[in-house]
Amino acid sequence: MDNLKELSSVKTFGGWQKRFSHPSAVLDCDMQFSVFVPPQAEQGHPLPVLYWLSGLTCTDENFSTKAGAQRLAAELGIMLVMPDTSPRGEGVADAPDGAYDLGLGAGFYVNATQAPWQRHYQMYDYVSTELPALLNANFKLGKAAIAGHSMGGHGALILALRHPQRYTSVSAFAPIVNPMDCPWGQKALSAYLGEDRNQWQQYDACHLLASQSHFSLPMLVDQGLADNFLDTQKLSRPLQLVCQQQGIEAQFRYHQGYDHSYYFIASLIDDHLRFHAQHLSLTE
């Protein structure tokens, strides 16, 4: 692993929760990511992998420390990969007013074209190409699935919609599904991509799904009904409407009392792991 620096390694549920850093050519900075390596890695067989994309303000460690996913991932033999949510380091642009929804921690999984963002903010290429190539060079990996929360749910959905052949399944918690038509998305897309809304369409799950004649990748979306961003950021529901209009089968589940936090994710993460395990051919 000459191209990876191991920052930490902790044994849990028979596997290893690890954290790495590496120089990213795509982002022109050093990046960190977390990985849970299940105990089945010792058998030497290719490991199915679930990529988890986190939301605004998060790092690569939020999911690993708060979701409680390692226990079932160890049982199922799934490797968990948790990238950071933006480039970081000296010289990386940030929101001038320190806003949480732009800049550091808010990469939105797009390839920026506008100054001062374009030098480092190429998160789409990082999570879709560079990071998977790095992992495949250092681990023995099998099939892949993808999931995420909020901004990360947006990232997971657009990656699955644009590259359905790369994943067995996609799931999301409280995803931003129509960034072209919500405050978080409009702020980020205008900053990173400019004001040409035609350029925004490639990163909008509702637009991508509506423009496809066929999409058959298994999809699961969970949404808390006490989420204070549900209506203000138009989470989940617009994508469900597009699925209905397109005749696309997908599971959308709404839960009374649950908010936007990791308490919600921790409550239902086992459902998502089992959902992906089924399509990764790990269960009947």
Q: Which residues are catalytic?
A: 150, 227, 260
Q: Determine what percent of the chain falls in helix, strand and coil, rounding each to the nearest 5.
A: 35, 25, 40
Token digits for 270?
A: 């086992």
Tokens 């290719």 locate to: 46
> Using the 8-state DSSP alphabet, how is residue 96 labeled?
T
Dist CA 243 CA 256 (whole Å) = 22
Contact 32, 54 (CB under 8 A): no
Dist CA 14 CA 90 (whole Å) = 37
Contact 59, 105 (CB under 8 A): yes
Burial of 107 (0-12, 13-18, 19+ CB in 10 A): buried
DSSP result, 119-184 = TT-BHHHIIIIIHHHHHHHHS-EEEEEEEEETHHHHHHHHHHHH-GGG-S-EEEES-B--GGGSHH
